[in-house]
A and B are shown apart, each in its own frame.
Chain A
Amino acid sequence: MENMVNVYLFGKKYTVPAGLTIMTAMEYAGYELVRGCGCRNGFCGACATIYRIKDKQELHACLACQTEVQEGMYVATLPFFPLVKQVYNIENIKPTEQIMMQLYPEIYACIGCNACTKACTQELNVMQYIAYAQRGEYAKCAEESFDCVMCGVCSSRCPAGISHPQVAMLARRLNGKYIAPECGHLADRVNEINEGKFESLIEDLMQKPIEEIKELYNTREIEK
């Protein structure tokens, strides 16, 4: 007999093999998942889940695909959370403090309870990146929030109604476009290509008999 544990999916008890993730435990129980299931690998944030262990007080948040079931786990998935996503034209905004005030003014209503950080399924310091956003420090906000999968659990716990993942998304785009240093060699190469510099070189390769190009491939120099 396999080692089994009791879990409570939306309050209903199921006995499932230990070692399953919450997601595979749901499938073991017979659920055909449509919502609340995405990459199954911890990257997409589709399977945000809240759980509590029987007789314990603390609420935990996790990704269902990345978390092993435990005995007495009460599970509620959060397949959708109504985050606020403001619309903007990335070409027309600038990385100023004002832009956050205009688009996401609620971040200044943060009461510092840190519930967002405690809830983060990626163990990010969410309240800290919101603090950076408040101060217009977008490079720091981008770095601190980088591993965010936008599952929305932080926002579900926020008394100030902040949509943290969307604030971070804006900060990262501002950083990527306006703050991070521009890449000179990239611009140079795009110009060379537009001038047709490599055109005949590649056309020539395309015309070569297969044996010749095999020889070129098999003897090509490989950078150390």
Chain B
Amino acid sequence: MYKIDKLNELAKAVAEKRAANAELEPRRMTAEEKDTLLATFHPDYKQDEFTVLSAGVNKGEKVPTQLAELLQGKSRISAADVDLTAPDYDTDVLIIGGGGAGASAAIEADEAGVKAMIVTKLRIGDANTMMAEGGIQAADKPNDSPAIHYIDAFGGGHFAAKPELVKNLVTKAPEAIQWLNKLGVEFDKEADGTMVTTHGGGTSRKRMHAAKDYSGAEIMRTLRDEVLNRGIPVIDFTAAIEIILDENGKAAGAVLMNMETKELLVARAKTVIIATGGAGRLHYQGFPTSNHYGATADGLILGYRVGARLLYADTLQYHPTGTGYPEQIFGALVTEKVRSLGAKLVNIDGEVFMHPLETRDVTAASIIRECTERNKGVETPLGKAVWLDTPMIEYKHGEGTIEKRIPAMMRMFGKYGIDIRKEPILVYPTLHYQNGGLNISVDCSTDVENLYAAGEVAGGIHGRNRLMGNSLLDVIVFGRDAGKNAAAKAKESAVPEKLTLEHIEKFNKELAEAGISSDTASPMLLPHYARK
């Protein structure tokens, strides 16, 4: 039951029309309808929420205002603060970030026989990977193929992705699943081993593999266990705050900061992988977020300062179904799998207002339209929202389906007295994913030699909109590739001789010349939630 009687009352309209709504197969929007909808209602199109950069390699391009403030913010150190001649750590491959991409990279670098080391500002596994619920895509069923997966991903991303990256993503997908399975990751399977797969928004084949609705958690905890089994050093509660270059401008390590003692440390490496994830905790446009506490765009800042170009940094994913109510879980992710299993989106009148499995950007824009222009949203103390008719899942597939397939969702709402098997839930878009990021080539290299990027921090794989299940896939495929390629490069490289932080002063000068003076400490590292 909802604590607000009015909501219980309104939910009745949803229940009354459930049987009829379950029968419906709502029409999909045409390409033109989608374009108009996005241009009118998607947050990426709100021009006044963006700032044009005045300094750095993407000068003249627009990025979200909060990101611009950090990209053009103030380094936490000056070169004089650290002694680069006596590194505290020496390794072949330095991996910044302990999420899915960082852990995958570490395992592959270790497998290649080089010294790898992970630094992470929180703990290994504290990452958006851990929170991915719905699943991971791979075209491994007989009616599917990597080519069909290619069309879905490329089209879903509005034909903006780098084709060679999409090719890499879809072609290595089945092997990624196999690799995970051989590490012991559990996937939902039939008794004969056939993978249980469902649709995601914008997929044309059912290729979403899952481990209940703990898919990312199951993958992440297994990767973490493997990293620890291999004895790969993990330096936790230690953030990278500047990339170090050598005298030839190649990446050669990072300056680290102990998050608790604030001690500064120097790590020297032959190659560096940035795998720091996304930026949801910057709360672009005031949105709540489904992201991890540490999702503060650090990697974009680290890379940008040393000259790594950003690609599509102006495109963000607002997941259509963030929790709209209650306040304790406001903005928390309601997995797309809820819709994959058959729940439909319903307005205040109990009407299904769209096909539930359009791509995420289209679905988010459609929900925003329902709550604004059409005024068909449900008013809560936190703002407007629409219904997601979860009981429809068991109406269609029988009792017990929800507990078996989406136990995390049942638990999350159950803690606040809402039984999603019997009551519909309230949803509204939440800031979920950074579609763009550091520009990479197919080998995961950035524009700076010996500097690699993988996972959410990288851009170009998903174009301007990512499909469900392609992010878990991306962190595994590109994380592994980054590890292999950074290891191979490290093998043929000598230990960097002269380390420098000259880029800090150079960047400061560029900022000054552009008339920018900022006191914003950058990278941000953690959001500022403490009440002052």
Contact = CB atoms under 8 A, between A and B. Distances in A.
Interface of A: 19-21, 24, 27-35, 37-44, 46, 66-68, 85, 87-90, 122-123, 142, 146-147, 149-150, 169, 172-177, 180-187, 189-190, 193, 198, 201-203, 205-206, 210, 213-214, 216-218, 220-223
Nearest to B122: A38
B292 A40 contact: yes
Given A46-B123, A88-B229, 12 more contacts: A30-B530, A34-B260, A35-B237, A37-B293, A40-B292, A41-B329, A68-B328, A169-B222, A184-B192, A205-B150, A214-B159, A220-B155
Interface residues of B, number: 88
A7 B329 CA distance: 20
6 contacts: A34-B526, A40-B293, A44-B130, A147-B408, A177-B182, A205-B163
Contacts of A32: 526, 528-530
B425 to A, nearest CB: 15
Nearest to B126: A38
A153 to B, nearest CB: 16
Contacts of A185: 140-142, 194-195
A82 to B, nearest CB: 14
Given A172-B186, A183-B194, A186-B178, A41 B290 contact: yes
Contacts of B164: 206
A172 B177 CA distance: 16
B47 interface: no
Contact of B186 (A88, A176, A222): A176
B225 A169 contact: yes
B455 to A, nearest CB: 16
Contacts of B226: 90
A27 B177 CA distance: 40
Contact of B237 (A34, A122, A186, A221): A34
A37 B292 CA distance: 9
Q: Which 10 A-B residue pairs are closest in the complex by CB-CB distance?
A: A173-B184, A217-B155, A181-B193, A176-B186, A177-B184, A176-B184, A189-B140, A206-B163, A201-B147, A189-B174
A223 B143 contact: yes
Contact of A181 (B167, B185, B192, B293): B192
Contacts of B146: 193, 198, 201-202
Considering residues B155, B174, B329, which has the most beta carbons from chain A within 10 angstroms of its beta carbon? B174
A39 B221 contact: no
Interface stretch (B204-212, B446-454, B499-507): B204-212
A31 B526 CA distance: 13
A119 to B, nearest CB: 16
Contacts of A90: 183-184, 226, 229
Query: Which of B142, B164, B292 is the most central at the interface, judged by chain A CB atoms within 10 Å of its CB?
Result: B292
A204 to B, nearest CB: 8
A218 B185 contact: no
Interface in B116-159: 122-123, 125-126, 130-131, 138-143, 145-148, 150-152, 154-155, 159
